[in-house]
Amino acid sequence: MDSPHGAAVKAENFGLKGPRGWVFRGVDVDAAPGSLIALEGPSGSGRTCLLLALTGRMKPTEGYAEVGGHRLPKRMTAVRRSAGLGPVPGVTDLDPALTVAEQLREGALLQRRYEGPVRALLRSPRERAAATAARIDAALAEAGLDVAALPKGPRTSIRDLERLEALRLSVAIALLGRPRLLAVDDTDLKLSGAERAEAWDLLRGLAAAGTTVLAVCSEAPDGAVPLRTRRAAPEPVEPGGSTASAAPDAPSSYTDEPADTDEPTDTEAAAAPEAAAETTEAETTEAGTTEAGTTEAGTDEAGTDETGTGEEPRSGADDDAHDTAKETADAIAEARSA
């Protein structure tokens, strides 16, 4: 049952599937109002997506969740109105170009414009300014941020804040809307042991005051309601060789070269007769050229040897060939004279 301020958080078989597979799946939780829920797990296990889904910013795929009596995913808008986002990288980043005072005024203006009651717009400018200043002071006090203690007070640049100071400022801006559920991402990231203890003391104090807190961390602190995530298992391979979550990638052995097969392709079969004809003609020409070259070489060699200008001595086989060629020449001469 909900308290006047905090929101109960329940989930059963809660899951979200993206284009590449399951982001998180099978999440079960039952936390009372004013609980500190520590969403722990390794990086890449879907912690931030689960945080955004439980605050109505992402639509789940299976199961159900209920936040402050509003069922997800049917009443996502109502959950968004009752849940405030603290520091969530890529969603509620502080603007490094602003000062602390400017960031607080911007946050208060957005809360008044989109989440404040309509009757608040009917107040005089002086009344609205006083109400805004009171809300900012109350939120800073709850977040434990002393603006006067900053290096330049309210004129301190956002980029000059320490990690814990930036976390407190983000929490204060989220508290301006008096959320029933406060979500904080990367609670213990880049914090020393002492700073991590201070951050958890801050969130425990907010939970004790009645606000339900959902904090992403690498390790849950003592006394928190643990909610663990784990990396999703790979998608099973379907008979076609692809997975259900994404289109199959090209195999690692893929190249632009055609496959090496014994059967000729259509282009090769069409070009085969022409290639065979060209090969036969080339062989015939080459044979004729070879015979002619051999005869000329033999004649030149014989003539060279007769004149005694050969550089190398002839072998016995060369002598026999020379005698045979001479006898043939004499026989031809006798036949012509007859």
Beta strands in 176-324 (DSSP E): 181-184, 212-217, 225-228
What's the confidence (pLDDT) of residue 37? 97
What's the confidence (pLDDT) of residue 125? 84
Low-confidence ranges of the chain (pLDDT < 70): 1-4, 112-121, 231-338
For residues 208 and 154, give the distance between their C-alpha atoms in angstroms, rounded to a whole number: 28
What's the confidence (pLDDT) of residue 38? 96
Check the CA dihedral 285-287-290-296 and report its sign.
negative
What's the confidence (pLDDT) of residue 335? 56
Q: Which residue has the tokens 């809660």?
A: 14
What's the confidence (pLDDT) of residue 4? 56
What's the confidence (pLDDT) of residue 117? 65
21-31 and 9-18 beta bridge pairing:
antiparallel
